[in-house]
Amino acid sequence: MEMSHQRSISSLTGNPLGAIRTAIAEAINNNFSCLPKEIINKISFEIGYPKYRAHFTTTIALTLAGYLKLDALQIAKAIATSVEKALFDNAASPPITQWQIQAVGKGWLNISLQDEYLANALFDLSHQSTFESTASPQPQKLADTESPELRLQYVYARCCALLRLATSYQDFSKDKICLPQFEDCLQPEISLLLRNLAIADYLGNNDVTGKKLSKNLLRSLTTDFLNFYDHCRIFSVNADIAYRRILVIEVTRKMILRLSDPEIVYAEYL
C-alpha cells in the first residue's frame, strides 16, 4: 500500500506541547494577572493515558490555589473557559485548535489531543535534529560506571535494528514527508508516543543535568518501549500503521541518546 497522506502545512514546530503551555499561561495571565511570572512558569504535564480520559493532565490550578487562596476547581474552570474561548477565537490556527481542555476532579486540567495534533507532533520530533546526540559515533571502551543499563542497551539496539530493516522495506522508502495516520492505534504505541512527547516537553523547558533524573526518564521510556515491542508489529501490517510505528521508534532512539551522557556510545547490535 502506498502512503499518500501529505505533510500538513499547519505542522507543529519546537516543543510538541508548547502551544498548549502558551495557551494555558495566557489564560492564567488573563484571569489572574496578579500572579508573578515564575508561578505561571510552573506549568507541567503528566501523562494521563490510559488511566484517565485524557492524554495529559496538569495540576497548575492546584499550585495556583495556594497563592490565590481560591478553590482549585474554580481556578481550573476559569482557565479552561478562557482557553476554550481563545481556541474558538483562533479557529484559523490549527496547531492550537487540535486539542481540548477540561477542568475535572479537585482542580485538574485534562488535555485531550486530536489525531492530527499527535501526527504533527510525532512527525516533527522524528525529523528534528535538536534531539540528536553529540557523542562520538565510534565505539570506545567505557568504564563500568559509564555503561548503560542492560535493558536500555537492549532497547537502543532494538530501535536501531528495526530502523535498519525499515529502510530496506519498500513501504518506508517512499514519501518521506507524509504525516502518519492514527487509525487502529494500540494502547502501547500511544503510551510510548506520549512518553516521548512528555520527555521532549521537559527537555524543552528544563536543563536536565542530574543523572538521577535522566535515569528515571530513561527507565520509564525503556518500560514503555518494551511494552510497545511486545504488542506492536511493524511488518506484515498496514503500511500506514507500520510507518507510524517506525516514526515512534525513531523518536525513542533520539530520546535515549538525548538523555544519556555524551560519553556513552550505545552498541547497535547485541
Question: In the chain, what are the domains?
Answer: 18-113 (3.30.1360.70), 134-259 (1.10.730.10)
Strands 99-104 and 56-58: unpaired
Amino acid at 196: N
pLDDT band at 91 (very low <50, low <70, confident <90, very high): low
- Cα distance between residue 218 and residue 236, in whole Å: 29
CB 6 within 8 A of CB 178: yes
Amino acid at 148: P
Cell triple for residue 133? Answer: 546526540
Q: Please tell me the predicted confidence (pLDDT) of residue 138.
A: 45
Q: Please tell me the predicted confidence (pLDDT) of residue 207.
A: 56
Q: Please tell me the predicted confidence (pLDDT) of residue 183.
A: 83
pLDDT tens-digit profile of 134-164? 444 444 444 444 556 788 999 999 999 999 9
200 vs 268 pLDDT, higher one:
200
pLDDT of residue 231 exceeding 80: yes
pLDDT tens-digit profile of 159-190? 999 999 887 765 555 445 678 888 889 999 99
100 vs 212 pLDDT, higher one:
100
Phi, psi at 102, each rounded to 5°: -145, 135
Dihedral-angle region of residue 236 (phi above 0 means left; psi in -120 to 50 means alpha; beta otherwise): left
pLDDT tens-digit profile of 22-48? 999 999 999 998 888 788 778 999 999
Q: Please tell me the predicted confidence (pLDDT) of residue 87.
A: 81
